[in-house]
Amino acid sequence: MIKQKIYNTRAIDEASKESEIFSREVMTSVSKFLRLNYGDTSPEDIVVNDDALKYKDRVLAVYETTKGKIWIIAESDNSIEYNIITVLFPDDY
């Protein structure tokens, strides 16, 4: 069994430490993402995500928080399942 690794950028970590509300928003967003709820992602990008799932290509979702938008990106390093998930601000990319 391959375990998913969830990473936060330094900016997400710092913002989470500063705000319990934001920290909860990040956890809620990750939970939604894992259930294939892409939050505030555009309808066009949702279609791209759904197609990417077939080939284990990169999936991107957008969520609105009290600190602004966050992105969650899932990647597969083995083409079997998504095992790397990164939470970041768009400016972190």
Whether 26 contacts 87, CB under 8 Å: yes
Q: Is the pLDDT of residue 2 over 60?
A: no
Alpha helices in the chain (DSSP H): 10-18, 20-34, 43-55
| pLDDT at position 1 | 37
| pLDDT at position 82 | 84
The tokens describing 25, both together, are 């928003």
Calpha distance 34→43 (Å, rounded) = 18
| Predicted structure pTM score | 0.90
Sequence ranges of the domains in the chain: 5-92
Mean pLDDT of 35-64: 93
Whether 87 contacts 71, CB under 8 Å: yes
Determine what percent of the chain is predicted with pLDDT higher than 90: 77
